[in-house]
Amino acid sequence: MIKQKIREKLNDLVASYLKNKNIDENLKFSIEVPPENINADFATNAAMLIAKKIKINPKLVGEELVDKILKEMPELIEKADIAGAGFINLHIKHEVLYNELITILTQKEDYGKVLNSSNKKVIVEFVSANPTGPLHIGHGRGAAIGDSLSRILKHLGYNVVKEYYLNDVGNQMLVLAKSTELRYRQLKGEQIEFPQDHYQGSYITDIAKRLILEGKDIKDIDFRAESVKDILKTIENDLRNFSVDFDNWFSEATLASVKNSSGQTQVDKACQYFLEKGDAYIKDNALWLASTKFGDDKDRVLKRSDGRYTYLASDVAYHKNKFERGFSKLVNIWGADHHGYVARIKACIQMLGFDQHNLNIILYQLVSLVRNGSPIVMSTRSGEFITLKEVIDEVGKDVCRFFFLLRSPDSPLEFDLDLAKKQSNENPVFYVQYVSARCNSIIKESKNRKDIVNDINNIDLTLLNTKEEKDLIKQLSAFCDTLFLSEKLMSPHCFTSYLIDLADKYHAFYEKCRVLSEDTNLTSSRLKLVESVMIVIRNGLNLLGVSCPEKM
């Protein structure tokens, strides 16, 4: 929280400085940890940005800001100086570091938590895979991102609802039903050629076998409903084993088939709204959305000339439904293949009368599986793909989730199965979890000592004065900053990076600073530092949906 406190104070100072220059602007300056060769805790480019704005020497601005910082932030800053072309180096007071340790030890799992706010109701919609087959690893990445981001937002005080949008209508459902029916007929002895463009995975055969065992006559079987039931059960089980659960499963069919007292579905109502508002028109017996009025590259069909609604029509009705349920923020986590759909749906949000900025769309790139240095080729419809369950069974849920979150969603991800199974520091999950196990081992061993002081009020934390100890405390305090960064970027990958950095700092501390020594006071202080590390590691891994083992 130290960095956040500095930012809040510096924001006020910069705003006041600009106001005195008759400039009303919110400058987005940085506050970063400087390179190892710079003797400072933080550095900011605020003076450089101001100088560029008012066109004077950044060192002159820096001198003025340094004076203001020392005057206005005495409880945080011990020293401030100018470096290079105008960077301001900040040296925080040692007691600030020690107070942060006390906060961690006091708040424990609530460290960094923000109280709930009624106006922060957010719905996070993710996975939402069509129920046409088991989840593959791409779905797994979306699941890890969505669930972990939901945990982070909840920690930051949001009222979070996790939702799975079930695409259970449309052409793909017809193909799925026909695929199961054909397998059923084949198993019953009919000579049928199975179309190449139908679903060919073994799970289709399994569904057909179940239907035969149940002894149902073909004329009494709803192949679509039976297929969806089995596949959805598999999806739910796979997600549960991945530590992902949903607050709500929303069926597309309810939008397209359930009618109100006036005989209209929600899709009917949304399209009628556009038509009455003048944002839709009829051409060639089809209903068109005039989405170019709001930034789309061309107008889109809502209802085909044969009376069938398009996927867009259902999606518009679904987003309208979300806003009408009272959510102030909508988060959609989609695969990168939806890139061209973003402008379209944002245009629709505007046309519905809602603020498009309240819709956050996160696009995640594909995952490529690698074994023995070679990529594994996958294809969903042909049935030649690696399921999420197979990867979890091979490397474990913890590794799977952590690996999926190693990169920002917009970066392609290479998942090395060989690395994922290594029980060594090369494996980032093992590397981080081992810190927790090592901390737990030290604390357990310390229980045999009768001279250890446990009351934080009677421990001299100022004894933690080596570079390694201070670096470790600063990294611990960056937990809260990482929460806010994750919220800003709408990505949980910030926490995998944070935890790896924390593990680096801990191992450096462990190598240089003996925790259990004959010096009772120093031992007591270092044990509190170790306990703080264990708390923060556990909290961070929990936000990622990864376990925190006591021993490894």
Model confidence at 382: pLDDT above 80? no
Q: How far is residue 388's CA from residue 385's CA, in Å, rounded to a whole number?
A: 10
Q: What pLDDT is stored for residue 26 in this prediction?
A: 83
Burial 483-493 (b: 16+ CB within 10 A, else e): bbbbbeebbbb
* 487 bridge partner residues: none
Per CATH, the number for 97-115+424-543 is 1.10.730.10
Name the CA dihedral angle for 176, 179, 183, 188, rounded to a multiple of 10 degrees. 90
Q: What pLDDT is stored for residue 148 in this prediction?
A: 98
pLDDT digits (tens, 9 = 90+) for 186-199: 999 999 999 989 99
Q: State percent of the chain over pLDDT 70.
A: 98
Q: Which CATH architecture has domain 126-257+365-421?
A: 3-Layer(aba) Sandwich (3.40)
pLDDT digits (tens, 9 = 90+) for 285-339: 999 999 888 878 889 999 999 999 999 999 999 999 999 999 999 999 999 999 9
Which range, of 48-62, 353-367, 511-525, averages the lowest pLDDT?
48-62
Q: What pLDDT is stored for residue 258 in this prediction?
A: 86
Token digits for 248?
A: 């709500």
Helix (H/G/I), strand (E/B), else coil: 199: coil
Choice between 443 and 4, residue whose per-residue pLDDT is larger: 443
Token digits for 102?
A: 């006390």
Residues 362/145, Cβ–Cβ less than 8 Å: yes
User: H or E stretch including 276?
Assistant: helix 266-277
Q: What pLDDT is stored for residue 384 in this prediction?
A: 58
Provide the angle, in degrees to the nearest 10, between the axes of the packed helices 137-155 and 397-404: 80
pLDDT digits (tens, 9 = 90+) for 237-275: 999 999 999 999 999 999 988 888 888 999 999 999 999
pLDDT digits (tens, 9 = 90+) for 472-486: 999 999 999 999 999
Q: State percent of the chain over pLDDT 90.
A: 82
Instruction: Please state the pTM of the whole predicted model.
Output: 0.93
Residue 60: exposed, middle, or buried by beta-carbon count in 10 A (0-12, 13-18, 19+)?
middle
Q: What pLDDT is stored for residue 523 in this prediction?
A: 98
Model confidence at 422: pLDDT above 80? yes
Q: What pLDDT is stored for residue 378 in this prediction?
A: 63
Q: What pLDDT is stored for residue 295 in this prediction?
A: 79
pLDDT digits (tens, 9 = 90+) for 510-532: 999 999 999 999 999 999 999 99
Confidence of residue 33 (pLDDT cuts 50, 70, 90): confident
Residues 473/535, Cβ–Cβ less than 8 Å: no
Model confidence at 118: pLDDT above 70? no
Domains in the chain: boundaries: 2-92, 97-115+424-543, 126-257+365-421
Model confidence at 13: pLDDT above 80? yes
CATH 3.30.1360.70 fits 2-92, yes or no: yes
Mean pLDDT of 87-92: 94
Q: How far is residue 190's CA from residue 172's CA, in Å, rounded to a whole number?
A: 24
Mean pLDDT of 356-375: 93
Residues 6+ apart with CB under 8 A from 488: none
Mean pLDDT of 1-20: 90
Mean pLDDT of 41-66: 91
Q: What pLDDT is stored for residue 381 in this prediction?
A: 46
Token digits for 65?
A: 């800001």
